[in-house]
Amino acid sequence: MDIEKNFQQIKRELTLTGRAGIEDFLAWLEFETDFKSAPASTIHHLNVLGGLAQHSLNTLRFARVINKEFGNRESEINITIAALLHDLCKVNYYIQGEAWDKEWKDKTNQWRKIAVWKIDDKLPLGHGEKSVILARKFIDLADSEMLAIRWHMVKWDVSDPGIKPMNEARDKYPLVKIIAMADQMAETYETLGEEAVDEPAQIQIQN
């Protein structure tokens, strides 16, 4: 994984959307958050440095594939914004820490400490809704983008009682389903194996 290359690609993709305020957003992302180097999770998919940016690009890649299969009914701009910003809530969210290695203890009968990712949410606002709120500090979002970002976890967002509005959003805007599917495809792709994780996202701009 090339962390710098991934971040530059994300900047390029978002700049190409031409969305008003995107320069300010990107400056914030680069200099006031850890988006470039953050992991995508603590123990699941892409729990490595740069994992969040890689996962965001993978989600964009799959969103484009799905959108193409559906006859490109969603605009390239909507797809790009929703895919790349869906997990914005994970900036300034993970910290590196230490934990006792239970597996090592079982194997060797000795304790040792290992580096782990822990959650230290600096702004506990939720998940998809937090991504929307953070993005809206800098840029306007279309209703479909807001709903796609808000509901990308589908029913995995079990803490949320709002199943009814989620289903309404999914019926109202195809983008909501596309981003949720792309997110799950990216996560599946990332957990398949080392080779899959290291393979760069092959994406192209469509004009």
**Residues in the site for Fe ion, rule: CB under 5 A?**
87, 183
- Write the DSSP string, 122-184: SS---SHHHHHHHHHTTS---HHHHHHHHTTTGGG-TT---HHHHHHHHHH-HHHHHHHHHHH
- Closest distance between Fe ion and the C-beta of residue 155, in Å? 13
By CB atoms closer than 10 A (0-12, 13-18, 19+), residue 75 is middle
Residue 184 CB, shortest distance to Fe ion, in Å, is 8
Nearer to Fe ion, 19 or 150 (CB): 150
CB of 5 to Fe ion, least distance (A): 20
Least distance (Å) from Fe ion to the CB of residue 102? 28
Tokens, residue 39: 């992991």
